Structure formats: structure tokens, C-alpha cells
Structure 1
Amino acid sequence: MRGALGGPRVLLRRLREVMAEPVSAQERLDKIVVLIAANMVAEVCSVYVLRVDGMLELYATQGLNPEAVHLTVLGSDEGLVGLVAREAEAINLSDAQSHPSFSFRPETGEEIYHAFLGVPILRAGNTLGVMVVQNRAHRTYSEEEVEALQTTAMVLAEMIASGELSALARPGAEPAARRPLQVTGVPLSDGIALGHVVLHEPRVVIRNYIADDVQKEMKRLDTAVETLRDELDVMLSRGDVADGEHRDVLETFRMFAHDRGWLKKMQEAVMTGLTAEAAVERVESDTRARMMRQTDPYLRERLHDLDDLANRLMRKLVGAEHAPAKDALPENAILVARTMGPAALLDYDRSRLRGLVLEEGGATAHVTIVARALGIAAVGNVENATGLVDPGDAIIVDGQSGEVQVRPAADIESAYAEKARFRARRQAQYAALRDKPCVTRDGEEVQLHLNAGLLVDLPHIQETGAAGIGLFRTELQFMVAAAFPRTAEQYRLYQAVLDAAGDRPVTFRTLDVGGDKVLPYMRVVEEENPALGWRAIRLGLDRPGLLRSQMRALLRAASGRSLKMMFPMVSAIDEFDAAKALLEGELTYLRRHGHTLPERIDVGAMVEVPALLFQLDELFQRADFVSVGSNDLVQFLYAADRGNNFVADRFDAISVPVLRALRNIVRKAHAYDKPVTLCGELGSKPIGALALVALGFRALSLSPSAVGPVKSMLLELDAGAATRLMDDLLDNHAPKISVREELAAFAAEAGLTF
């Protein structure tokens, strides 16, 4: 480059001195642009800062008219500066005025300059502003000069993100780095939480960006990369799953870790004068900015892999532990994470945890089930959530609407605080209904049970006045454990559940793992379509020792009491018969060894595979009861993966095909005089519960937070009128597939509370 040899390093050292000086923010910026212009032998250096209103304001310049500072403002879709901000990539031109995006501003006096180099000021992939250098001569800046300016922009990003420039801004035109944000995701767990951000995997805090010894930093980087590569090789050579990670994820990590282009970019960043960890962060931020603008889901998924790998490498360099600290949560903590398993969520102090925000995760994810059990508000599918927040930021999570407010303004915070108080009053009204029988206005009794799966769920039985536990997900104990739970551990859990329920019934679902329910200590079986693969009862029958040990624990825990057990994902009657034969074998074993058996045993099946819809006569002849798993049944009926964001919400569960299938199940159950319950998410929304009662369901199993709203609605419902409407819709060919609007209109006319 044109400056003296080692120019970028000299520039960074001088920048460090300027950043340490006790001067005002404007003086510091003015000194920075003078330094950069001198170092790069540029006649102009300017800094534009992105504002909360989306405009780019000139904050400092060397070479342009100084009176244009804080006067010149560009839209993010205007001029070359706007183009740099929008694309988050450098633009290097020998004749800027001939570019179609060039925008002439007479107050700046820049019409005499031709060469233009603009780079985005990036942090965590987010654009905070733009830095520009210009020259009169027609010239293209060298790669070294581009690299130097990008490196300087990274240091400037920290200054902007610190909030130091806010004092220079007019009200309503503050820098966007700390601006209030409203983002929307998918509601996962109902509730409103006001608190402060805790990152589940905290970003590595870089204390020193500027290297004292470049060769030393290069050696640190190379050593850390080698160590990381070796660790990944060891994990994969062991042939087991390390730290709960899937083998395919580790393979992807290894591929990126051995990518020469990735290492070369980091080495080039170090050569400009950055420390090793700052170089990793700069390359990660540049890559993140580009890939966030991709629409290809595969490329966006690779972004997450690169983020994870870069974070591992930075932890190697600064000595930070991979696992986050979970024992020092602030009051009213709101966790923000890319993704999280149920065991990780349970590790946090529940007395301080108020909410959860995830970049990934749907309504049926298992971390969602735990969030509901803990009673915390949760929102998923929030794009770039971890990049939008900093630890300690004020944040509001609305688990009902799916809205997340980051750094909210005072009026927004006040409005949500009032909404939270209103919600608390509603919850008090629901609590007052706890001991009131759930009987519709026309005298139909509807039993409301709970969905549960952990000890933390058990107090909800008394709190809600539920009729019992309609679905106890036994797999959650396996998913949160570090090793396979032994029969004795299972026995203790099942006994505690039955003790907590007292004389109320509990329906235990046998182990439902496989598919999206991966146990961290079991070898992952690669399948093209896991949801349709080796899971649930299929796995249990192929590994009978696993299923038998669970049956034995359940039978012993229910000694002298009633036991209800059901098998998941039954596709064919012979599967039910085979599972029941295993149960008979365990009963024989316990009798032979003198154990007291349950007083009564009811054995049922989950109806969630469409094939079983055509074997209902045979099923009801064998089963003591049936439970409908609407989550899986709906996804299989529509061939729409509920975990795939592109199709998960494409089909409505309150639709003619689904409702006709459900009505047929209810009618068969009544014909055989067998109990039938629905335990999917459909029943946990008042409008879904209305549809189910209209179909003839008289027992629903819900999430604990849903009991109050659903019960309040049912107490006002005329079930007979709802059934007549439903039969008319289903028998006389509804005008469209979904009948949600028709049911909502019925509810509004009847004055039902939703």
C-alpha cells in the first residue's frame, strides 16, 4: 500500500492511543479520520453512522466540507455509502461518479474526488455504519488498503456499540447500534417476561484488539487452529457422540476447520495488526454479514456452523470455558440462544429465569415443553437473535404474540408492564375456577388433564385442579440425563409422579425417542427421514430390553395402585399385540418374584399414524383406551414436517380432513364404549378445544398454562350447538379446507372468552 511499510499496524497502534485519550466522542472521531487519511495517503476519510431511523449520517470527515458533519444524511438505499451499508461488503472504485449508485451532495464538496473505497462497519454481522476514503486521482485501492480499512472499521464498531456517540445525536436520530428493536418469532410458551439478556453461549469478550507482536499473534492463531482440528479428529475417531453433538455436525466442523480459505483470511487479518482473537471475530463478522443476506436455507444453516466453530476457536485463544456460567443469573433473566436442548434449560436457576428467545425451535420442540413446564415465556424462530442483543440488554418476551422487544423505549416497557399486570389478573380469575367442575352450559362434562414429563410439572396438578395427567412423556427423563437412566431411577420418578397425582389418573407413554428426540448418550442412526424412521414403539420392539426395563419400573411404581400405560406411534395392530406380550412377560416375572402388582392395569395406544385410522375396529377390540397425538397425526396427514419452517404452518389443524379423521376416532370409541383423549397442542388453544368438544371429545390433555383459558371458555359453551355447527361444516362440504374462521365467528356470536 502507499503508506509506510507496516502502515496498518502503525495505524492500529495510533488508534489505540487515540481511543485511550480523555477527549469527547466528537474529538475522538475527528482524530480517527485524520489518522486514517494520513496513513492511507487519502485526501478524504469519512465516517457515516447508521441511525435508528435507518438513515446514514456523516459523523466525521477529513477532506470534505466540515460543515457537512451531522448535516449530510443518506438513505440506506441512496448513494454508494447506502450501497455499502445495504450489501455489507466493501466497494472499491477508480471513478465513483460514473457508478449508477453515485449520489452527489453539493454541501460535501466531494465532486472533485474520483477514487472511492467504502467498507461497512460491522459487529456480529450487523451494519453499524460505513467508513469511506477518497482521492482525486483515478486509482483502485490495493487489497492491503482494503484490509487496513476493514480492520480499522472493526475497532470503530466497538466505539459505536459502546453508546459513546449517543451524546452527539439528535432525539430520534441516535446511532442504530443501541436502538430499540421489535422482532417477531413463533410463540412457544405463553406468558409475558420483562428482564435482561443472558446469552446461553456468551460471546467471547475481546479485551485487546490491537497486536503488540504480530508474529506472536500468528503463532497463537496457528496453534489454536491445530488444537481445534486435533480435538475434532479425536471426537470423531472415538465413534461416539461428544457433548451431545451429532456426528454430522462434528464432520461439518472438521470440514470448515481444515478449510484453507478460512485460515488464510484470519492470517491476513492478523497481518494487519489485529490480535488472533480479534482476527477470528473479524472474519466471522464479515462472513456472517454476507450469509445473513442469503435466502438459501442450506447456506444459512452453514452460517450457524461457522459461528459455532469460530466461537470454539476464540475460546481456545482467550481460555474461556465452552460451557456458559449458569449459577450467577441476574434477577429476571431472559435467555437468548441459537438453539438449546431441554437438559440445558433445566440447568439454569428457575427462580431467576423468566423467558427464553431462540433462533431455532418450534412449538413442539422439547425445549418448548420444558419452558412450558417451568412457566416461562418463550419465543422461537427469531432470526439472528443472538446477534441483535448484548448481555444485560433490557428485553421483553411476549409468548402469546411472538413479539420480542429489545432495548424497549420507556413507553413500550410501560405498556408491557401493564399487559403483564392484566395477565396476572386474568390468571387470578382462572385460579378461582380451579375447584369448579368443568361442565359446559348445556351440561356436558369435559375432563381436562395435564401434559407432563418432569418432576417440575407435578405441582401444576394441584395449581390447576386438573383431572389428572393425560400424557406423561417418559422420554424427557432420558433426554435430560447424562447417562441412560437405570430401572431404579425410572422407578423413583414414576413413583413420585403417582404420589403427586394421588387418586387422580396418570397415563404414562412408553419411551418415545428417535426422530427429533435424540438421546445424547446413544449412537445416532443416520436416516433420510427420521420422523418416519426408527423411533418410538419401533425402536422399543427392536430393543425389547429397553422397553421391558421401563415396563418393570412402571409396574413396580404402581404397586397396589392403578396404572395406565400407552404405546406411541403404533402403525399396525401387531405392534400393539407385541408390546402387550412384553408387558405380560414382565407381569409374569414380577409375580414369580413375589412383587405386589398394580391393582388395575389399562393398556392403550396413541393414534398418530394415519394407517391406524383404518384399523380402529381391531384397535378398540384390544385396547382399554386410546389417546390421539394430534401433533404427529396432523403432520403425517399433510406430509408437512412440523419442524420445517417452510411448511410447518402451511396447513391448519382446524381443517376438514383433520377434523373428519378426529370425528371418526371419537365415533369408533363411543361405539366400543372405550375412553378417548386428545393430548396434542390442538387442545391447548381455546379455539382448538372448542373444535374438539364439538367433535365429541370429552377428555383433553393440555399444557398447564392452557387449563385456565380452556376451562373458562368451556364453562360458557353450548356443546350441542357447537356439534351441530361442526357436523354441518364437515358433512356439507365446507367452502374451504380450514374452518377456523367459521368457529371463531360462532365463538364471537356466543360471547365465548378466548
Structure 2
Amino acid sequence: MRTQDSSGRTPAAMTYDTSAPRRLLGRLRDVMAGGGQPQERLDKVVTLIAESYDAEVCSCYVMRAGEVLELFATHGLLQSAVHNTRLRVGEGLVGEIAAHARPIALADAWSHPAFAYRPETGEELYHSLMGVPIVRGGRVVGVLVVQNREERTYHEEAVETLETVAMVLAELLTVAQLVNRQELLPVDGNALLPLRLEGMGLNGGVGIGVAVLHQPQVRVGRLVSEDPEAEHERVRAALSTLRAEVDGMLDDDTVKTHAGDGFGDFRDVLETYRMFAEDTGWITKINEAISSGLTAEAAVQKVHDDTRVRMAHVSDPYIRERLHDLEDLANRLLYHLVGGEQVSSRGALPDDAVLVCRNLGPTELLDYDRAKLRGLVMEEGSRTMHAVIIARALGVPVVARVGGLLTKVEPYDPIILDGDHGQVFIRPGDDVREAFEKSLKHRRRKLAAYSALKSEPSVTRDGIPVDLMLNAGLLMDLPHLDETGAAGIGLYRTEVPFMARASLPQVEDQQQLYRRILDAAGERPVVFRTLDVGSDKVLPYWHGQPEDNPALGWRSIRISLDRPAILRAQLRALIQAAPGRELRIMFPMISEVSEFVAARRLLDMELEREERLRGPGALPSVLKVGTMLEVPALIWQLPQLLSRIDFISLGSNDLVQFLYACDRGNPKIADRYDVLSPAVLRVVDQIARQCRTAGVPLSICGEMAGRPLEALALIALGVRTLSMTAGGIGPVKMMLRSLDVGGAEEYVRGLMDLPDRSVREKLRFFAQDHGVVLS
């Protein structure tokens, strides 16, 4: 980079010797391998760096407790400032580097708005500054800075060399333990007291066991290389071994057995993971780091640390989740490079292991003995994370987004996770443990009772049938059809396989997937919702512009109608998957009738194309076309819409969100409004009445359909089809088989005229008084 001084003159650039990096790393290696106390070696290192950069100053700041950077060593500044000068993260240029984990190179540091002058250091003589973060394990542990009196422009190559030096220095700071880890623990992390931590439940269930810390980092012992060509060859060989290892996982019989009918999604995850191992950008960066003088393993570690701290600031959830796959890859590659055997905990786990980690790659989870895993707890993670997808398939409870987890738990601590409510209990007391053990036993009894109901008819006490359907989005969801006795799939989210791939799936791939779904369902109906992306569902290969309100922006059918080729390809695949069979297609996020008409026109074009190319026998025997009702504007267009559709599905999650102008993903207001409010009940009643009059079947497929109390209200208002996750079918079926609709209908209609914020408690008392089973 080049900067100008205040007079407009461009400062003289620092002369750069391309052979300097290797000489500097060699001298650093000698200092680090030598004897003496860690502080003495650190003092020698900063002097050596200053000499190599022809700089008057080189300083090393180290992260202390409370997000404070302390000056630990300097060449050029006043020695009295060492261990006395401290800067908060974000304070001054040093704090800026630590806060954003990015280098800074300035010809005139004093003119930068973030500059903070500390008189005790004596740095008023020095104008130019170059600084880089010292990163270890994806965390900033310090900052390395060089300064000069004259205004100097630092070459990009000089910045990259200093980053490489900082990586070597990170090893000294970590191994020497200049800052005791205990100092960085929060107060309650030192006392071995019971703790309750809040997180996000990503897979339901309760796990009781002992904490097993997933710590895949490999100690990189040799940092500086003597022979770059030999290091390049080592990386090539290790990558070849790694790819063969992933191929072996794809053919692993135990993976197929545990994945069951969901192996197709297992395979998608692993194949996507393998593509990362072929990524040329990642491999090129590793080779460039080797050429600068690092060993193969040090180069892999440097590239990964650089990637991690940069991607930590990326807001796109899908891109951030792919970071876990890269971390998994880096760790596996390091294991091969250091010559150690691939870590696998099969057979080494305690019988009741709860895996605790910051994050996890998909193959790392498969390394553990699934028969001994009782749960997974993560500091990070999300629903689209590949390891979470696999955990769901294996039935492992998951709690994620647990802040400060790794600073508060020690290996083999007793631990309980509650995946239903997103809670983690570390070192729980006997009373808590007993309560959860009772809860676990009660849960098992309830599951057994629900299982016993799966072959029983879904009919109320007064003989009214209610269809309970399954919401699905992956092949691994399909076994739940038989496990729960569901009447069919009321909502198949076709976008999930799109999100699990690195590129847009071809028509043939989609067709094969949809055919497998129809085959698994047999005679039971399947409602395919067309691609519903945008908002919080991001595809890695579509790079749209950032939006202020993505939930209200370019998403769902709006994208599909603007990209008709993509929608037509999906409709073609659906038609080709169902020759001679019933096919149900549903368009999402319809805001006005004209949008449905436009989407239906594309469907008709594909039907005509298929008939023209393959004949009438290639078409579905029955075609039913419907729409989601999620946008309130559509409520006032129902008469015009209902004459054009075969069915309608009310998406309660988005509809209620839009009715109340309330972001359901915002924890401050997510619970502010209740779906069991008179307003929501009145809206459902209005829609249900119009659908009955038009003879158009209505279903509810949002979260309220899968909760017994809410389902009671919906059934009372005339809804006869509910679609939900597999876990909701048993409880809702038990409730409706104990319900007399006649009495409930009169009571619920009376609640709609109340001014109350919610009628939840009144409805709960009604259920108790009338023997309706809610749990």
C-alpha cells in the first residue's frame, strides 16, 4: 500500500530484500531454540525483528485478562514502559489491530484517527507504523509492531513477512505461557461451582454424562524449513492421503448403517467437504507460505489462522459455517503432516460422553463412537452446520451458541444438556441431576406412549378426523413417516438440499432426489414447496446485495420469478420424478394473486414441454397446485386466489411475524407477542371460513401446528390438516384423541372477542377442566 503525507508527497518506500524473510525466520528459529527465560528470548526477538526491518522500534503486546493488551517487550521505546503500558482492545492503533485481527501499515500513524499517544513510552519521535495481529488457534493473543522516525511506506511483502514472523512468535507466547491460562478464566470459571449456561437448542433431547473436550489442534513443533521443495512435496502427499481418507468415509458401511435412509444427505455433506480439499485458493496460500520459509505444517496453521480471524467478521451465516469444514480439513492435514495417527475416539470414549467444543467439522464428529455419545455442546454452530445435520441424523442432542463454554468446563466434568430448551448444566448438583434423570425417564415413557399411538386413527373423541402431516427437508427425515404414523409430508422444503451443495443442483440430480422422496412416502401425499431462499437461508453460489430488511426483501418466490430458469428447472425435475403418480406443488411467499398466476404459467409451460417430448404418459396422473399463505396482504385477496388453487397452507411463523411487525429471530422481542392472541385466532378463523366456503383444503404448517395447546385452538377453528416436525406428531395426536371439538369450538370462538394480550392460560384451564391431554 502507498500513502501520502499532508503536503501530498509520497513517502519513500522501504527497500525490500526478497531473501530477507528466510534469513529472518532462520535467526528467529535459533533464538527460540536457545536457552534462557521466556522474557529474555522475547527481548531478543524484538531486537532481531527491528534489525531485520531496519526499524528504530519493534514492540510486542500480549493479551491479558479483560481484553487488555500489555507491552511485554520493546526495542526502541522506553524500557520503563514494559509491563506498565496497557491498551484496551479497540484503543489506539494496537487495539484496532487486535479488535479486527487485521494488519495496519501507515506512513504517518499520528494522522490516523485511531492513534492514541502514550507519553510513558517515548514514542513521540516515531511517525510510520506497521503492525500485525499475533494469532493462535483462531484467537488474537497479541500484536507485533515496528515503527520508524521518517514517514515510510511499507511494502505488502513486508507486511506478509511480519505476519509470518508473528505466527512463529505466537508459538513462543503459547509454549512459554507468559500469561497463565487461569488468569483469562472468568471468576466463576475458577471455582468449581455448578453453572447453568444458555444456548440454542439445535436438536432436541436430554444428554447426561461427562464432558469430553474436542481439542483437535496439533502441536506444530518445527516452524522454519530448510528445503521448500521438500515441504511442497509433503503437502501434496498429505493432501492425497486426506482425500483418500474422505473417500473411505463415503464408502464406510458403519456410516451407511447409522445414516439409514438419510445416507443421501450424509453423502452430500461429505462430498461437499471433499470439494474443500480440492480448493485451489486454499492450497495456493499454503504453498505461498511454504515458499516464504515455513514448514508445511506451519504453513497450514498460518493460512488457517488467517482465514479464521478474517471470517469471524463475515456476517453471512452460510459462509461462516463453512469455516468449520475448513478447520476440520486443516486439522486432518496437520495430523498427516506431523506423522501422527489420525485421531479417532472410537473405543476411547467414556460410556456417557458429552462432546464439548468451539465448533466441529462433519468428519470430526464421525470419528467418535456414536454409541457412546450422549450429546454435543458448542460455543458456535447453527442449524445449517454440516456437523449439526449429521448429529440430527444420529439422534444426538445438540446445544450451540453457548458463550464462554470452553473457559468454564474442564475435562470429565459432569454435564447435562437440554436440547429442547437450549440449556447446559456444568457440574450440576445432585438435585438437578436427579430432576433431569427423572425427566429423561419420563421422556422415554412419553416417547413409548406416542409410539404406541402411531397406528391408531387420528380422530377426536367426537369422531372428527384430523390429518397429521410431517414437515421435512432432508432424506434423513423420511424414516419419521413410519416411526410417527404421519399421514404424509405436508411440507417438503426443497431448498435444504440446495443449501447443502456448493453449486446449483442439475435437473437430473433434483429429479432423483424427488423420486426417492415419493418412493419413501408410498401412497401417502407429499407437498413439495418450491425453492424458498433468501432472508436467513443463503445459498453459497448466489451473491446478492446486502439488504436492510432481508425477511422483507428479495426472497422466495420473488427470486424464483426473477430467475425463471431456476424455477423452471425445479418444476421440470418435479414433473419428471412423478410420471403416473400424484404430484403436489406449493409456491411460497405469495403476496398477490398475480404472483401465483405467473408461477402457475411457468408450471404449465413445463407440463406442455414434458408432454411434447415424452407423451402424456410421462405426466403425473394427478396434479395439485397450492400456495403458502404467509403475507397478510393475501388474506384480502382470498376470493380471487381460492378459485385458482387446489389447496392452501398457512405458514404461521412468517404470517404472525408480519402481522405483528415483529422479528421472530430477535431475542428482545421474539416472545413479546403470542400466537394464542385473539388477533391471531381471528385471522385463522377468517381464513378457515373462506376456505370451507370455497371447498379448498387448508393446512397449517408453522410451529404452532406442532404444539398441543395451539393445535387445540386450530382444530377448534376448523383446521383439519396440521403439518409439523416429527417430534410434534405424538403429543398432538394424544391431545386430539382426548378432545371433544364441539365444546372446544364454542369456547375458543368466545375468546376471540377478548382484549387480552393472550388467551393461553384460559385455554390451558379449559383443557384441564375437560380432560384434554397436553403432555
Please give the per-residue CA displacement for 1:671-717, whole angstroms capped at 9, x wherever unaligned. 21211111111222222222322332221111111111121122222
Is residue 491–residue 554 contact of structure 1 (8 Å, CA) maintained in 2?
A: yes
Query: Are 1:611 and 2:633 matched, yes or no?
Result: yes
What is the correspondence of 1:548-567 to structure 2 with a 5 Å cutoff?
548-567=568-587
Structure 1 equivalent of residue 615 of structure 2: 594
What is the correspondence of 1:643-682 to structure 2 with a 5 Å cutoff?
643-682=665-704
| 1:397 corresponds to which of 409, 417, 421 | 417
Is residue 372–residue 705 contact of structure 1 (8 Å, CA) maintained in 2?
A: no
What is the correspondence of 1:280-429 to structure 2 with a 5 Å cutoff?
334=354, 354-359=374-379, 375-385=395-405, 388=408, 395-406=415-426, 416-429=436-449
| 1:192 corresponds to which of 201, 206, 228 | 206
Q: Aligned partners of 2:668, 2:712: CA distance in 1, in Å?
A: 28
Please give the per-residue CA displacement for 1:90-110, whole angstroms capped at 9, x wherever unaligned. 69999xxxxxxxxxxxxxxxx
Query: TM-score, normalization: structure 1?
Result: 0.62
C-alpha RMSD of the superposition: 5.9
Structure 2 equivalent of residue 183 of structure 1: 197
Q: Aligned partners of 1:602, 1:608: CA distance in 2, in Å?
A: 19
Query: Are 1:467 and 2:481 matched, yes or no?
Result: no
Structure 2 equivalent of residue 718 of structure 1: 740
Is residue 325–residue 361 contact of structure 2 (8 Å, CA) maintained in 1?
A: no
CA separation of 1:433 and 1:595: change in aligned 2, threshold 3 A = same
Is residue 326–residue 348 contact of structure 1 (8 Å, CA) maintained in 2?
A: no
Q: CA deviation at 1:663?
A: 2.2
Q: Aligned partners of 2:173, 2:603: CA distance in 1, in Å?
A: 67
What is the correspondence of 1:623-638 to structure 2 with a 5 Å cutoff?
623-638=645-660
Is residue 535–residue 553 contact of structure 2 (8 Å, CA) maintained in 1?
A: yes
Equivalent position amino acid for 2:749 in 1: D
Q: Aligned partners of 2:407, 2:551: CA distance in 1, in Å?
A: 31
Structure 2 equivalent of residue 132 of structure 1: none
Please give the per-residue CA displacement for 1:21-46, whole angstroms capped at 9, x wherever unaligned. xxxxxxxxxxxxxx999999xxxxxx
Query: Are 1:487 and 2:507 matched, yes or no?
Result: yes
Q: CA deviation at 1:154?
A: 5.8
Deviates most, 647-656 or 673-682: 647-656
CA separation of 1:310 and 1:565: change in aligned 2, threshold 3 A = closer
Q: CA deviation at 1:407?
A: 5.5
What is the correspondence of 1:158-169 to structure 2 with a 5 Å cutoff?
none
CA separation of 1:277 and 1:716: change in aligned 2, threshold 3 A = same
Q: Aligned partners of 1:14, 1:748: CA distance in 2, in Å?
A: 76
Structure 2 equivalent of residue 543 of structure 1: 563
| 2:716 corresponds to which of 694, 699, 716 | 694
Q: Aligned partners of 2:681, 2:361: CA distance in 1, in Å?
A: 32
Is residue 536–residue 550 contact of structure 2 (8 Å, CA) maintained in 1?
A: yes
Tell me, what secondary structure is at the counterpart of 1:622?
coil
Q: CA deviation at 1:352?
A: 6.7
Structure 1 equivalent of residue 531 of structure 2: 511
Q: CA deviation at 1:343?
A: 11
| 1:499 corresponds to which of 519, 526, 551 | 519
Is residue 345–residue 368 contact of structure 2 (8 Å, CA) maintained in 1?
A: no
Structure 2 equivalent of residue 526 of structure 1: 545
Q: Aligned partners of 1:375, 1:686: CA distance in 2, in Å?
A: 23
Q: Aligned partners of 2:388, 2:324: CA distance in 1, in Å?
A: 24
Q: Aligned partners of 1:492, 1:663: CA distance in 2, in Å?
A: 40
Q: Aligned partners of 2:460, 2:733: CA distance in 1, in Å?
A: 9
Q: Aligned partners of 2:216, 2:364: CA distance in 1, in Å?
A: 17
Tell me, what secondary structure is at the counterpart of 2:643?
helix
Structure 2 equivalent of residue 204 of structure 1: 217
CA separation of 1:10 and 1:370: change in aligned 2, threshold 3 A = closer
What is the correspondence of 1:51-450 to structure 2 with a 5 Å cutoff?
176=190, 181-194=195-208, 204-206=217-219, 334=354, 354-359=374-379, 375-385=395-405, 388=408, 395-406=415-426, 416-450=436-470
Structure 2 equivalent of residue 140 of structure 1: none
User: Gapped runs of 5+ residues in structure 1?
Assistant: 1-5, 16-34, 41-83, 95-121, 127-149, 164-172, 224-242, 245-252, 258-274
Please give the per-residue CA displacement for 1:471-521, whole angstroms capped at 9, x wherever unaligned. 11111222223432222222222222222212211111111122222223x
Structure 2 equivalent of residue 107 of structure 1: none
Q: Aligned partners of 1:681, 1:333: CA distance in 2, in Å?
A: 31
What is the correspondence of 1:740-751 to structure 2 with a 5 Å cutoff?
740-751=760-771
Q: Aligned partners of 1:611, 1:344: CA distance in 2, in Å?
A: 47
Is residue 490–residue 550 contact of structure 1 (8 Å, CA) maintained in 2?
A: yes
Is residue 38–residue 176 contact of structure 2 (8 Å, CA) maintained in 1?
A: no
Deviates most, 327-336 or 689-698: 327-336
Equivalent position amino acid for 2:723 in 1: S
What is the correspondence of 1:14-29 to structure 2 with a 5 Å cutoff?
none
CA separation of 1:572 and 1:710: change in aligned 2, threshold 3 A = same
Between the aligned residues of both structures, percent identity stands at 45
CA separation of 1:414 and 1:160: change in aligned 2, threshold 3 A = farther
Tell me, what secondary structure is at the counterpart of 1:496?
helix
Is residue 346–residue 367 contact of structure 2 (8 Å, CA) maintained in 1?
A: no
Tell me, what secondary structure is at the counterpart of 1:631?
helix
Is residue 372–residue 704 contact of structure 1 (8 Å, CA) maintained in 2?
A: no
Tell me, what secondary structure is at the counterpart of 2:699?
strand
Q: Aligned partners of 2:657, 2:192: CA distance in 1, in Å?
A: 41
What is the correspondence of 1:40-55 to structure 2 with a 5 Å cutoff?
none
CA separation of 1:629 and 1:675: change in aligned 2, threshold 3 A = same
Is residue 324–residue 360 contact of structure 2 (8 Å, CA) maintained in 1?
A: no
Structure 1 equivalent of residue 727 of structure 2: 705
Is residue 399–residue 419 contact of structure 2 (8 Å, CA) maintained in 1?
A: yes
Query: TM-score, normalization: structure 2?
Result: 0.60
Tell me, what secondary structure is at the counterpart of 1:550?
helix
Is residue 137–residue 217 contact of structure 2 (8 Å, CA) maintained in 1?
A: no
Aligned residues: 590
Tell me, what secondary structure is at the counterpart of 2:752?
helix
Q: Aligned partners of 1:453, 1:304: CA distance in 2, in Å?
A: 19
Q: Aligned partners of 2:172, 2:552: CA distance in 1, in Å?
A: 52
Is residue 342–residue 480 contact of structure 1 (8 Å, CA) maintained in 2?
A: no
Tell me, what secondary structure is at the counterpart of 1:727?
helix
Tell me, what secondary structure is at the counterpart of 1:626?
strand
Is residue 204–residue 315 contact of structure 1 (8 Å, CA) maintained in 2?
A: no
Q: Aligned partners of 1:207, 1:178: CA distance in 2, in Å?
A: 32
Structure 2 equivalent of residue 110 of structure 1: none
Is residue 361–residue 387 contact of structure 2 (8 Å, CA) maintained in 1?
A: yes
Structure 1 equivalent of residue 594 of structure 2: 574
Deviates most, 303-312 or 576-585: 303-312
User: Gapped runs of 5+ residues in structure 2?
Assistant: 1-26, 43-63, 73-79, 82-134, 140-169, 233-271, 274-281, 286-297
CA separation of 1:345 and 1:606: change in aligned 2, threshold 3 A = farther
Q: Aligned partners of 1:611, 1:343: CA distance in 2, in Å?
A: 46
CA separation of 1:284 and 1:430: change in aligned 2, threshold 3 A = same
Q: CA deviation at 1:557?
A: 2.0
Equivalent position amino acid for 2:207 in 1: A
Q: Aligned partners of 1:552, 1:452: CA distance in 2, in Å?
A: 21
Q: Aligned partners of 2:322, 2:518: CA distance in 1, in Å?
A: 43
| 2:643 corresponds to which of 621, 626, 631 | 621
Please give the per-residue CA displacement for 1:621-640, whole angstroms capped at 9, x wherever unaligned. 11110011122222222333
